[in-house]
Amino acid sequence: MARIPAAERRADLVAAAVRVIATHGVDGATTRRIAEEANAPLATLHYCFATKEVLFGAVFEFLAGEYRDVLNRSDVHSDTQSTARGLLRGVLQWYLENPDFGATILELISWGQREGKKAEVVYSAAFATMRTIIESTTTAAGRPVDSNTIDQLIYVVSTLSDGFALNWLVFTDAAAARTQVELTVGVLDAWMAANLGDAATPGPRPAEVAPEPDMRSLVSWVRVE
């Protein structure tokens, strides 16, 4: 029987951990259960990962990488509004197609908060990727976007995707979720219209006065019948 390379075995164990955490939660994700899911001896898991905490840290890094890849694939290389819309839509579609990831992220964030700053890994990676993508854009009217507004836009995209993921995890209604994708993107459009200007208006606005941010109501995450 061919020997499986260590890097491949580690990847298998991380993928198995994602599935086990999604199904059984952090508390139910025992090393034995993860090893069985990966069809690997328990001793192999302990050889690859000294502790379960080290394994969970690797899962965090894996999910952060997946999130980063989704964002990069969703970059439409267009104006700020179209780019932000593409990023949000790409993440929402990713959650729809990979429910285990959403469930695992939620479980690990709760665990990570108890373990220190581990939960920041996924968010920090996502924020950095979104900033790199968005700061290279201008609005549909050709105006650059200031750093503070970019931060707000990243926060809005992240908050909307988080809310969608939680709603999808709770209700698992694919038909409703597809409708909610459009609703969620519409909320982003409303924020951008208020804070980035009318995408259909050519050229700069007559008075370059930064609009007051309106963060009072993003969306109420209830099921849409």
CA distances from 25 to 56, 104, 165, 202, 223 (A): 12, 8, 16, 51, 24
Classify the C-alpha dihedral 5-105-61-33 as positive or negative. Answer: negative
pLDDT tens for each residue of 150-168: 999 999 999 999 999 999 9
In a domain, 158, yes or no: yes
Q: Could you tell me the pLDDT band of residue 101, with boundaries at 50, 70 and 90?
A: confident
pLDDT tens for each residue of 135-144: 999 999 999 9
The pTM (predicted TM-score) of the whole model is 0.80
Residues in Cβ contact with 16 at an 8 Å cutoff, skipping those fewer than 6 apart: 34, 35, 37, 38, 40
Q: pLDDT value at position 216?
A: 34
∠ Cα 67 70 73 (to 5°): 150
Question: Where in the sequence is the domain holding 122, given as residue range(s)?
Answer: 58-195
β-partners of residue 208 are none
Max mean pLDDT range (116-120, 141-145, 200-204): 141-145
In a domain, 210, yes or no: no
Q: Scanning the structure block, which residue is given the tokens 């700020």?
A: 80
Residue 37 CB neighbour total at 10 angstroms: 19
Give the CATH number, domain containing residue 181: 1.10.357
What rounded mean pLDDT belongs to the chain? 85
The total number of residues shown for the chain amounts to 225
In a domain, 115, yes or no: yes
Residue 221 pLDDT > 60: no
In a domain, 225, yes or no: no
Residue 132 pLDDT > 80: yes
Q: What is the mean pLDDT of residues 47-69?
A: 91
75 or 201, which is more confident: 75
Round to whole Å and give the CA distance between 190 and 219: 11
Number of domains in the chain: 1
DSSP class of residue 144? B
Helices 99-114 + 6-28 axis angle, to 10: 70
What DSSP assignment string belongs to 17-75?
Answer: HHHHHHHHHHHH--HHHHHHHTT--HHHHHHH-SSHHHHHHHHHHHHHHHHHHHHHHT-
In a domain, 71, yes or no: yes
Round to whole Å and give the CA distance between 210 and 199: 16
Q: Could you tell me the pLDDT band of residue 80, with boundaries at 50, 70 and 90?
A: very high
Max mean pLDDT range (51-60, 101-110, 182-191): 182-191
Q: Look at residues 5, 13, 7 and name the one whose alpha carbon lies nearest to residue 41.
A: 13
Q: What is the mean pLDDT of residues 12-32?
A: 94
In a domain, 124, yes or no: yes
In a domain, 159, yes or no: yes
* Contact between residue 29 and residue 21 where contact means Cβ atoms under 8 Å apart: yes
In a domain, 224, yes or no: no
